[in-house]
Amino acid sequence: MAALIRDTREMSYLVLTDRAVPYLLARLRWPDVAQAMTVSRPRWLEDPGLFDLHYDCGAVNVSFAQAASVAAGWGSRLRPEAAAEGPVMRRMSSSLLEKSRRNGHAWSIEFVGRRRGSSRRVAYPRPVSVKGAPADGAARGPESAHLERRRYPRVRIDGTAHIRSGPASISAGLVDLSEGGMRFVQPGPQPALTPGAALDGPFLFAAEGNASRICLDVAGRIVWRRSIGASTHYGVAFSDLAEAENEGLQLFLAAAHR
């Protein structure tokens, strides 16, 4: 489950999000590949205008593993190759965040920008603990001298965390999550992940048993590590979330506990 994937850099993957929830996934390789799929139309369509995404401040660069998780949530299987799989569409407007009505209809993303109801705070359960680890998430011992500053209670989430740091992408088990950080678990020790190590982001989380995905374009830091049996648990603190990301995370946590 703890897969380490190195990006080839031949193909780039980007997502557009609404309250941190992906709604458009693109794959680009200049000059021959410019394709995208959406939550409402999960198959590749070609459009040269997608190259403008590289200059769009709202686009988030993701790894192949993260892109594959987004596609899987929409019922589509992502393959590394970039063969054309759909009709060529006309060029989109240069700003995908300010779509014309015609472009939005073509991509079936008319909902973007509309409010889908105010976010509601999650009724948090009691703070989670793992046998053999401190309930407050702080590692006590020689492995880490850091204490995790928890401003928010964690919510237990069964799912997968796709963590990107530089060219590497780590897929691991998600244990709990909040606005301030997360805990993930790997089945064996990972010497490269030490307390104090920086994680560039973005982080993509997938809840088990449903199609919920959330993409947080924030940085993180490993603040503690603890070996429990044959597995290794890590605590991560996030940098401050934007308001839209915070709202999307609340909806994600609520959906995961239905």
Domain boundary among 73, 106, 139: 106
* 201 located within any domain: yes
Look at residue 140 and tell me if it is in a domain: no
User: Is residue 145 one of the residues assigned to a domain?
Assistant: no
d(C-alpha 252, C-alpha 231), whole Å? 26
How far is the C-alpha of 63 from the C-alpha of 209, rounded, in Å? 23
Whole-number pLDDT of residue 210: 78
Phi-psi region of 35 (alpha: psi -120 to 50; beta: other; left: phi over 0): beta
| The domain boundary residue, chosen from 91, 106, 121 | 106
Q: Which residues contact 23 (CB under 8 A, 6 or more apart)?
A: 16, 17, 38, 39, 109, 111, 112
Which position has the token pair 């889908």? 116
The answer to whether residues 160 and 252 belong to one domain is yes
Residues 87 and 171 grouped into a single domain: no
- Can you give the pLDDT at residue 216? 97
pLDDT for residue 167: 79
- pLDDT, position 228: 86
Give yes or no: residues 101 and 7 share one domain: yes
User: What is residue 103's predicted lDDT score, i.e. its pLDDT?
Assistant: 57
Question: Do the domain assignments include residue 231?
Answer: yes
pTM: 0.76
- The pLDDT value given to residue 104: 59
Any domain includes 138: no
- Per-residue pLDDT at 153: 83
- For residue 139, being part of any structural domain is answered with no
- Indicate whether 97 and 172 sit together in one domain: no
Flag residues of the chain having pLDDT under 50. Answer: 1-2, 4-9, 82-85, 88, 90-91, 93-94, 97, 99-102, 111-122, 124-148
Q: Which of 48, 79, 106 is the last residue of a domain?
A: 106
DSSP secondary structure string, 192-253?
A: T--TT-EE---EEEEETTS--EEEE---EEEEEEEEETTEEEEEEEEPPPPHHHHHHHHHHH
Q: Is residue 26 part of a domain?
A: yes
Residues 163 and 251 in one domain: yes
Same domain as 161, residue 99: no
Residues 100 and 175 in one domain: no
Structure tokens at 80: 């590394």
CA-closest candidate to residue 16, choices 158, 80, 112: 112
Residue 196, domain CATH:
2.40.10.220
Give the residue numbers spanning the domain of 74: 3-106
Phi first, then psi, for residue 57 (nearest 5°) are -65, -15
Rounded to 5°, angle at Cα 18 from 221 and 186: 35
- The count of structural domains within the chain is 2
